[in-house]
Amino acid sequence: MDAIYPYNMGGADKRLWELARKLAENGEHEVHIYGMKWWHGPDTIVTDNVHLHGVCKVRELYNEHGVRSITEALIYSLKVLPPLLKADYDVIDCNQFPYFPCFSGKIASIIKRKPLVITWLEVWGAYWSEYLGTRSGKIGRVIERLTMRLPDGIVAISQKTRSDLINARSGQSALTSYQSASISSESLKSRLLRELPMCCLPVDSSTKNVSIFC
C-alpha cells in the first residue's frame, strides 16, 4: 500500500496498520509493509515490530482535480515489484486501491509461488463514470473487474462489500467467511476473529508465520 499510517491518516491506512501491529505483537508473526518512503532516514525501519519499507519517494496521492493520481500509482507499482521478488514471505496481502499495485503483486505471486490476497474496501462499478467521466470511467471499471480476477482470495471489509463483489463476479469462489476459512494457525485465526470481526478471510492461509506485504 503506497500510503502508510500514521504518515497518511486514511481509514484504509489505519485499518492496515492495526492489523499489521496486532499480527506482529510479541513477535508472533513477521509483517512487512511496502509503501512510499514517508519518513527520514533508512529505507527500512521497524515500528511496533512491523517492518516498514520505503520503495520510492513520496508523491501526491491526488492530482489537481482531487482524483487519485494515475502517475503516482503506476510509479509505486513499478517500484514495489523488485523488493517483492527479492523478499521471502508466505502470503502477499495487497490493498485494492489504487489497483495497479495488485498487478505487481500478481507477478510476484506467480514467480514466488505464493498466494495473493487482495483486501477489498468497496466496489465502485457504475460510480467510475461519475468519478472519471464516461470514457475514462469505462477504463476504470474494466481495471476494477480485471483486478477482481487476480487474487487467490479476497478479504472483504464488510458484508456489503462482500455482496457487491459476489454480484460483480457472478460467484463467490474466492470469498469465504471466518467460520469456513481453512487456517492451520489457530493463534492467527483467533486473533483475526477477535480484532476484525467484520472481515472475510481467504481460504488456505496455511502457515503460522505470516508475512503480509501491502
C-alpha 189/C-alpha 137 separation (Å) is: 38
* Domain 11-195 falls under CATH 3.40.50.2000: yes
C-alpha 140/C-alpha 129 separation (Å) is: 8
Q: 153: exposed, middle or buried (C-beta count within 10 Å: 0-12, 13-18, 19+)? A: buried
C-alpha 23/C-alpha 26 separation (Å) is: 9
Tell me the sheet residues that pair with 47: 50
What pLDDT does 170 receive? 64
Tell me which residues of the chain have a pLDDT lower than 70.
Answer: 170-214
* Distance set, CA 16 to CA 21, 27, 35, 166 (Å): 8, 17, 12, 23
Specify the DSSP class assigned to residue 208: S
What pLDDT does 213 receive? 52
**Close Cβ partners of 142 (under 8 Å, ≥ 6 residues apart):** none
* Whether 31 contacts 23, CB under 8 Å: yes
* Whether 194 contacts 18, CB under 8 Å: no
Determine if the peptide bond prior to 115 is cis (ω within 30°): no
What pLDDT does 175 receive? 54
Domain boundaries defined on the chain: 11-195
Strands 44-47 and 31-37: unpaired
Q: State the pTM of this model.
A: 0.81
